[in-house]
A and B are shown apart, each in its own frame.
Chain A
Amino acid sequence: MKTTQHAAKHLAILSGILLTNAAHGQAREPLCRTVETRRIFGSQLVPQDTQDALRVLPLRGEWPGQARFVALWREAHPATDGGTTLRMTRLDSRLQRVGEMGAWTSPALTAEQGRGALAAVVLRDSLLVLVRAGSSIQRLIVARDGSVRAEPLLTLPSDVPAPNATPLRIEWVDAIARGDGAIAMLGLTSGEVRAYRFDAAGAVSAETTWTQRVGGVMRLLPTSATQSALAMLERTLPGQGADGETPAVQMLVTLDEQLLPVGVPERTGYAHFPWSVVARSGGALEVHQWVRSQGVAIGRVTVSARRAALEAPRLWFAQPPFEGRAVASASIVGRGGVAYGAVVTERAGGSLESQLAWVAPSGEPMLRRSVVPLSGRLLMLPALAAAEDGYVMFAGAEDETGFGIDAFHVRCDMVTREASAP
């Protein structure tokens, strides 16, 4: 039995993968690996919907149970009364469950599905949650003691639509912290956009309806109170992408104090692929978009009090290209100003992988493959939390044991590599 040459061959295969972007000579590189997998929630009941919402937010200050994070998700199956529960679970700094922050059950949640139906912001003493429930957006104020106060933020009229008319629905909602309070926007299928300001207690302090109609989903970007508020508008385009998807462009919209658009939206160069954004020190935003299997496009947005300056995205190729298509992404800034951009890719047949862009403060990324050992069918889009030694990726998936929301703790260490000769 021959062994040696075959062993060398296989090692070479693996090394080739590991050293995707390695330098010739000596190089310092991040070594990122999953060091712990913790199931936050598990159930034999598997959600029928795919790509449901999962939110994980950091908690500042003192919270019961020394909680440091709160995870929000919609339960898999209706309760006995027909309602579905939105769970809000507290996690400590080791990501152990330390009780429920709150829960809200509504029959209108049962029929909900799809992304963009849930937004949440941690305020000083409470959690502000905006959740679509049927024909309304509910505003939930979750106090530190776990009490939940729910009020409709917007309820659509129940008029029967005319025959052949597109049913009026709330299409998307997003919210971010701003100052002591928060701002939020939501869009209807009619193209109508509404914007809201919330005070530190989560009460609505201002409400605006745009005069413009918008044909696409918008997401707010994490600017500070001293910077312009910004949103990204995804505008669909005619035609069909290579994978049968609907093409789109991302347009940057600058908002004024009333959260109304200023000027015309600016084309960013980003497409319809999964993207995420982080706030960099110095007031810049950094956008990460995973372009098919090629790699990650990264560009910065410099934001001042009145305007935003766009940097054209640069595509950083993965060599060799990733396999499969990017289905979801999330980014976060961790210690040392390192940004972690994670993407979940799905190959033909449904197998999942999670690749990582380790982005230095300078904006230069290092791509890492198969960082998180995902398994099964992705049901809840990933969310990230920063860790002392890297980041944690949360994802909900159906695996061979049922449904689980797992936290994958990824540790990144800088290591010195001796690369092979050029």
Chain B
Amino acid sequence: MQPYRRVSWPRTRAWSCLFATVFTVGCRTSATQTAPPAGPAVAAGGDQQGAQRPDEPVLVQGIEPLRTPQCAAGEITSLTSLSPGIDPAFALARSPTGGLVSWVRIGRAGARELMVMPLGPTGAPAGDAQMIAGAQGADFPALVALERGYVLAWVDRPASGERVLSLRLDEAGAQQPWTGRGTSTPAGDPVASAGLLEGTAAGRQFAAPSLARDGSQVVLIAAQQTTSATVMIVQDLLGQGSVQTVPEALDLVAGERVIALQNGTQTRWLASRGEHTLLLGNGASFAPIARGVSGATMMRVDGGWMTAWSTQQGVVTQVRAQVRPDEGEPTTPRTLAAYERAPALNVALVRFGSGLFGALSLSQLADDATGSINLSLVDSHGRFVGRHASMASLRLRSSRTVAAGAAGPRGEAWVLLDGRADDGSAVLGMVSVSCSSDVFANEGAMPTASMLQRASPPEAPTLTADRRGGAALCSPAQDNASAGIELATHTAGGEDLTAEASARGVQMADGRVVFFARRRVSAERVECVAPSLGSDQRVVARDGVPCESDLTVLDAGAVGPWAIAVTQRSVLRSAGRGEIARSDLSLGGVYDARVLRGGSAILALTEGTSSAMSGLYYLPLVRGVPTRPVHVARVQRGVIEDAVVDGGRVRVLLSSFASANGASAASTAARTRALLTFDPRDRELANRAQHNDPFTDPLAVGAGPAALVGLGNAMSLLWWDRGVLRTGRIDHGVIREPHSVYGVLDQGGEALSIRHTGEGDLTVAFSANPVQNQDESLLPHPVLLRIGDAGAVTALSVTAPSDRNALVRFGVSALSHGSQMTALYTVARGNTLRWMAQRLSCAQSAPTTRPAAAGASR
């Protein structure tokens, strides 16, 4: 018998031959015109699985598609301005004669004020915005319309605790006495007055209250979580109330609503647990119906309940819906819309007419914070009817906040938007959306439910990786061009050599490079070291300081004469003579940090009280030693991408990986970018930290790393997007004129680092994918760039590091100084990892750029 896998047939010589065949024989683009099907019908069957040739075709019965009504959006109007830095948490109710909108704003004294504004039959403001007197620390308003007037409920947080209040308002938004409940108080009607609810201590927060109307009843649902159960307060605002206890803690998150819908004697409750598990129940018990979802809502449809939510995988977010009939099994969850880069998207349901429902959502925030309104239509059985993917488009602050009122007499729905005015300021926008009952859309022009809506691909960059003209070329300076200089070594203690290693380099003003590394010397000893590489190519290294094995060098930078590195629990400093000193941080739970550029401080992010939130702290450095931290803001969990002093103010670029279902930190995941600006001398800084969330006014949504370039009015954002380096001016919190500056052609690439070095330069390292059949090694190809203050490429290297053993995907970074660049990289052999440096000399020619059309491929 022949040995295993030795075959008697000749083998193909090389696999590249195969591709040569595939790509060169008859390669062509798809035809632009296709004849209609002709010829005899042939047998069905024949797919790869159990392929066969039946005599007669067996066909699944055809399905007549549902016709898609023609829908249109009206003009988007700005109802009022919104406060920056907070979620307005707006609510909307429709009445036969108009509507009422409510939102939260920051008042003059920094308090959260509750506002209402009446709307006329067309949705235009019918009166001035009014502040609800007596509301203290208001949040999460809820509204429901009565025959005449409205009921408003909200969570109120006076200094002593937390409570849920309600008010009856007339059609103009003025307070009215309760019918059957005595008179209303100026401070609202605390639900606690009925003996159902006491003020709660901090930490036992209410979920957002929900209001529902069932016949003559107005039901307020407020839910409060204890350690072992969830207390539901069901307050019939016009009659008697009740309390229900669900014998499980729902892990209610602030802002999530417990929604209850009633139909006669049946009630369905929608709640969430663990942030992203959706529960449905009867009020006494709950069962999970979906996991990993966000932004859920529920609506009564003919003969059942429709639930809708968003779910995210990688960079794709889908809007999904499911109908649970009163009798029988729930329908298959159906996708209604799909987006690229739309984290934290929520869904609003609206009834348009008999048997027709709309699921409204907002698309992604693109480079310039533009998004659009998507309307997906479904019938009462949850069947997809059609999709209007871009009903209106506008600048947005977030895609999280969409609200819709019930369809009015003319069948139109109102949608509230967390938008931006042309100058970038926050505004409450509204648009009406209506669908025709007898005019149908051209099906050929309608996107499918699963059609991925995404931002336009980056336009052609001015420079590309294989066209080196325009920027100064950098090449290895050593005599032996393929050799690097060893900075430090690390010995594996566990199985994964690269996962254990952690290091950062600092470019000093005098040309030296200080390299901070946490390394394992032996099984027992882990230390942090700071070898220094001089301009004479010599490395000076001294003894390290003990470091814990779980520490990571989060960032490093030059602060005056010091090279500073920061880890989760300490600050390392060196004067560049190979020595190192360590100071502990007086701050716990740090998971990301940055050395402030142009200043003498560290910015740090700490684990927050919930997995979704973090604390941002400012730690001044005195002679390289951190002092008392100042709480700056409570922000969405993410990372600090850059921090710089600009005219005495600190600007921090933050990225949040928070996704619709809690998936996080994947490099491919969409990240929301926000810019936080503060004055470190402001004594009230810590007091405002709770109301200072920059992610309510994000700059953009992206996928790759980013950094700030320039200062003052010329400040720009530079970021990596789908193989292209792009930049755009920051103006009033919005990216203006985004454009591509560098690309890696069609083979794609991966950003490795975007770092500032000395003298205001920014260096970018990325790996370009190998070109098929042109790169013998099939290894990624590193590219180093230096970016000047104006955001243009001023130098590049496509040959460094020239060490063929460099672990490119593990990490390559670059530093720059004058006409020199330094490539930092790693090589590994056995259980030893070596950190290496390679000096590059750059040509002195003045860089120029070329038109995008000249050879750019994207």
Contacts and interface: CB of A to CB of B under 8 A. Distances in A.
A200 interface: no
B440 to A, nearest CB: 14
Given A332-B45, A349-B666, A215 B5 contact: yes
Contacts of B313: 349-352, 375-376
Contacts of B714: none
Interface in B386-421: 389-395, 419-421
A281 B39 CA distance: 9
A337 B8 contact: no
A198 to B, nearest CB: 13
Interface string B284-317: 0000011111000000000000000101011110
B32 A23 contact: yes
B320 A334 contact: no
Interface stretch (B445-453, B548-556, B613-621, B797-805): B445-453
A307 B76 CA distance: 68
A367 B30 contact: yes
Contacts of B54: 58, 60, 122, 177
A3 B427 CA distance: 14
Contact of A336 (B4, B41, B309, B331): B41
B289 A401 contact: yes
B61 A387 contact: yes
A222 B51 contact: yes
A55 B87 CA distance: 50
Nearest to A337: B39
B389 A14 contact: yes
Contacts of A385: 44, 58, 60
A404 B330 CA distance: 13
A318 B30 contact: yes
18 contacts: A3-B393, A7-B392, A28-B33, A33-B449, A39-B332, A94-B60, A177-B54, A222-B46, A277-B48, A331-B46, A334-B59, A336-B41, A348-B668, A370-B450, A375-B335, A400-B311, A400-B661, A406-B332
Nearest to B370: A6
A336 B38 contact: yes
Interface stretch (B13-21, B92-100, B198-206, B353-361): B13-21
B36 A28 contact: yes
Given A68-B58, A240-B778, A264-B10, A319 B22 contact: no
Contacts of B316: 347, 349, 351
Contacts of A400: 278, 290-293, 309, 311, 320, 333, 661
Chain B binding surface SS class: loop
Interface in A11-57: 11-15, 17-18, 20-24, 27-31, 33-39, 42, 53-57
A362 interface: yes
B363 interface: yes
Given A58-B45, A237-B12, A370-B450, A191 B314 contact: no
Contacts of A95: 60
B37 interface: yes
Contacts of B49: 53-56, 330, 381, 383
A4 to B, nearest CB: 8
A365 B30 CA distance: 7
A417 B444 contact: yes
B346 to A, nearest CB: 15
A297 B57 CA distance: 26
A357 B152 CA distance: 54
Contacts of B370: 6, 9-10
Nearest to B364: A10
A235 B311 CA distance: 39
Interface stretch (B104-112, B454-462, B822-830): B454-462
Given A1-B395, A239-B15, A349-B669, A57 B2 contact: no
A360 B34 CA distance: 8
Given A335-B41, A386-B58, 19 more contacts: A1-B76, A1-B420, A7-B391, A21-B29, A27-B33, A35-B65, A35-B384, A58-B54, A120-B50, A177-B52, A213-B1, A314-B28, A316-B28, A317-B30, A330-B47, A365-B31, A371-B450, A372-B450, A415-B444
B523 interface: no
Contacts of B622: none
Interface residues of A, number: 159
A144 interface: no
B44 A332 contact: yes
B363 A10 contact: yes
Contacts of A354: 450
B61 A29 contact: no
B289 A10 contact: no
B263 interface: no
A256 interface: no
B47 A361 contact: no
Contacts of A135: none
Interface in B314-353: 314-316, 318, 320, 322, 331-335, 338
Contact of B46 (A28, A248, A333, A335): A333
A189 B26 CA distance: 36
Interface in A147-187: 166, 175-177
A55 B42 contact: no
A259 interface: no
A311 to B, nearest CB: 9
B646 to A, nearest CB: 28
B35 interface: yes
A353 B315 CA distance: 13
B62 A388 contact: yes
What 7 A-B pairs have minimum CB-CB distances, sorted nearest first? A349-B314, A6-B393, A58-B58, A373-B335, A336-B37, A386-B44, A373-B450
B375 to A, nearest CB: 13
Given A269-B25, A353-B450, A3 B41 contact: no
A14 B57 contact: no
Nearest to A175: B50
A229 to B, nearest CB: 12
B15 A249 contact: yes
Given A279-B42, A336-B37, A224 B53 contact: yes
Contacts of B449: 33-34, 373
Contacts of A60: 54-56, 58
A220 B51 contact: yes
Contacts of B27: 314-315, 317
Nearest to B389: A14
Nearest to A6: B393
A314 B37 contact: no
Question: Which residue of B4, B14, B320 has the most chain A CB atoms within 10 A of its CB atom?
Answer: B4
Contacts of B456: 9, 12-13
Given A221-B51, A247-B18, A335-B57, A21 B335 contact: no
A120 to B, nearest CB: 5
Nearest to B278: A400
Given A265-B9, A385-B60, A392-B60, A176 B41 contact: no
Nearest to B48: A276
A250 to B, nearest CB: 9
B767 interface: no
A21 B447 CA distance: 15
Contacts of B335: 373, 375
B754 to A, nearest CB: 19
Contacts of B39: 281, 336-337, 361
Interface string B569-591: 00000000000000000000000
Contacts of A348: 314-315, 666, 668
B37 A360 contact: yes
A335 B59 contact: yes
Contacts of A409: 60, 63
A421 interface: no
A132 interface: no
A370 B669 contact: no
A295 interface: yes
B597 interface: no
Contacts of A76: none
Contacts of A279: 42-43, 45-46, 51, 53
